[in-house]
Amino acid sequence: MVADMFRTRRHPLDKPFPTADPVDNTVGATTTTVYTYGDDLYEAMLEAIRGARRYVFFETYIWKGDEVGARFREALSEAAARGVDVYVVYDGFANLVVPSSFFRFGPDIRVLRFPWVRPGVLLSPVRESGRDHRKILVVDDEVGFVGGYNIGSLYARHWRDTHLRLQGPAVWELRNAFVDFWNRWRTPQLPVLQDVGSTAWLPQLRAARNAPSDLVFPIRNIYLDAIDRATSHVQITQAYFIPDREILAALLGAARRGVDVRVLVPERSNHVVADWLARGHYATLLRGGVRIFLYTGAMIHAKTATIDGRWSTVGTANIDRLSLTGNYEINLEIVDPDVAATLERVFEMDLGNSRELTLDAWESRSRLNKVGERLVSPLAPLL
């Protein structure tokens, strides 16, 4: 924490960075839109809420009580006032620093505060300690949003993140995820949401949902399966990259068979411990032929990947233990060349704000950094 304080003062994450306009693609009967800038995304989300006629499902990990957070609060309240059914989920632990009064809505808005301490955490820490790290908005079965963006002014202009909008039948994937979570964790005072099922099947666009209470962790599996299939290139963007043994082996195996494997991470993230734990893998990755790129001057928080120009994922899960075997998460898995091409262009854009880390440069890093990495290495099972 002390190191992080000094690092933040010396290297504030406040530099401008390139962004792209929202880009649409069609997958089956569903239109997807990729967002890379918070202001663009928030305007689209608020427009959807303001246009709601029947219901709004809103779920977020962090919801700041600032100007942007207040705009969302106001839009949800206005929707409820005109007769829209509004359901809100937020994580209690992630918002401990936000005044509790901010989350006091009128009786016409149903609010589920995901508890930060739950019974059984000591007996079953894997099942009961995970946070609700998901970010979902669904409106009227017509439009849905999912991705890395939390809600707040910081994320609107100062963090590079990626979010996806769905319009069409595949919105059911996000609706179903919200309904299942709500019904699993609602209190007796909150109503049961109806599970409507879906007559539309879109195998090339599906949601993978981690549910630690049920020991279900499919997001890790979709990564492993996709990396094992790679024959040309792998492009991964992660805010916190602490791969477990199997994912590390899969990436090294792909590089050995000639796949161009590239991993883009922040040069400095907002969590110094996560950075130092991630760096514990850099030597192994670089020696194994994986290329590492460091995003400079700003925080990149995206959780995306593309493989071979065909397979893509956008969602809320980082490649670390907390996300892949700990938290409630959701990632969309998309097999579509147009979506992959869009995300590859975003990756190239982000490389323009990055520097490649070479093995020689890494091995010549300061002794202080090496000591720090060694000191925090016992924390790896926690992150």
- How confident is the model over 37-89, as pLDDT tens digits? 999 999 999 999 999 999 999 999 999 999 999 999 999 999 999 999 999 99
Do 89 and 228 belong together in one domain? no
Do 85 and 144 belong together in one domain? yes
The one catalytic residue among 4, 66, 85, 140: 140
Do 273 and 186 belong together in one domain? no
pLDDT confidence band for 374 (50 / 70 / 90):
low
**Residue 1 maps to a domain:** no
pLDDT confidence band for 118 (50 / 70 / 90):
confident
Q: What is the pLDDT of residues 289-329, one digit of tens each?
A: 999 999 999 999 999 999 999 999 999 999 999 999 999 99
State residue 365's pLDDT score: 75
Do 239 and 171 belong together in one domain? no
Range of the domain at 322: 218-382
Task: Tell me which of 168, 202, 236 is where a domain ends.
Answer: 202
Do 194 and 256 belong together in one domain? no
Quick check: 266 pLDDT over 60? yes
pLDDT confidence band for 160 (50 / 70 / 90):
very high
State residue 274's pLDDT score: 86
What are the b/e assignments for 265-290, b being 16+ CB within 10 Å? bbbbbbbbbbbbbbbebbeebbebbb
Quick check: 366 pLDDT over 80? no
The one catalytic residue among 133, 320, 336, 350: 133
**Residue 5 maps to a domain:** no
pLDDT confidence band for 280 (50 / 70 / 90):
confident
Do 291 and 237 belong together in one domain? yes
Q: Is 301 a catalytic residue?
A: yes
**Residue 213 maps to a domain:** no
State residue 185's pLDDT score: 96
Quick check: 286 pLDDT over 80? yes
The one catalytic residue among 91, 161, 301, 336: 301
State residue 378's pLDDT score: 66
| pTM summary value | 0.94
Q: What is the pLDDT of residues 175-204, one digit of tens each?
A: 999 999 999 999 999 999 999 889 888 999
Q: Is 140 a catalytic residue?
A: yes
**Residue 246 maps to a domain:** yes
**Residue 207 maps to a domain:** no
Do 27 and 174 belong together in one domain? yes
pLDDT confidence band for 132 (50 / 70 / 90):
very high
Residue 27's nearest CA partner among 350, 301, 343 is 343
**Residue 8 maps to a domain:** no
- Using an 8 Å Cβ cutoff, are 303 and 310 in contact? no
Do 229 and 362 belong together in one domain? yes
- Number of folded domains that form the chain: 2
Quick check: 235 pLDDT over 60? yes
The one catalytic residue among 161, 303, 320, 350: 303
- Looking at per-residue pLDDT, the higher value among 339 and 126 belongs to 339
The one catalytic residue among 85, 141, 308, 338: 308
Q: What angle do CA 95, 167, 349 make, to 5 degrees?
A: 70
State residue 382's pLDDT score: 56
State residue 129's pLDDT score: 76
Quick check: 269 pLDDT over 60? yes
Task: Tell me which of 202, 227, 261 is where a domain ends.
Answer: 202
Do 198 and 229 belong together in one domain? no
State residue 121's pLDDT score: 62
Do 133 and 164 belong together in one domain? yes
Q: Which residues pair with 209 in a beta bridge?
A: 330
**Residue 3 maps to a domain:** no
State residue 200's pLDDT score: 85
Do 170 and 300 belong together in one domain? no
The one catalytic residue among 64, 91, 132, 135: 135
Task: Tell me which of 142, 168, 202 is where a domain ends.
Answer: 202
Q: Is 133 a catalytic residue?
A: yes
The 3-class SS string of the chain reads CHHHHHHHHHCCCCCCCCCCCCEEEEECCEEEEEECCHHHHHHHHHHHHHCCCCEEEEEECCECCCHHHHHHHHHHHHHHHCCCEEEEEEECCCCCCCCHHHHCCCCCEEEEEECCCCCCCCCCHHHHCCCECCCEEEECCCEEEEECCCECHHHHHCEECCEEEEECCCHHHHHHHHHHHHHHHCCCCCCCCCCCCCCCCCCCEEEEEEEHHHCECHHHHHHHHHHHHCCCEEEEECCCECCCHHHHHHHHHHHHCCCEEEEEEECCCCCHHHHHHHHCCHHHHHHCCCEEEEECCCEECCCEEEECCCEEEEECCCECHHHHHCCEEEEEEEECHHHHHHHHHHHHHHHCCEEEECHHHHHCCCHHHHHHHHHHHHHHHHC
User: Domain holding 190: CATH number?
Assistant: 3.30.870.10
Do 226 and 255 belong together in one domain? yes
**Residue 209 maps to a domain:** no
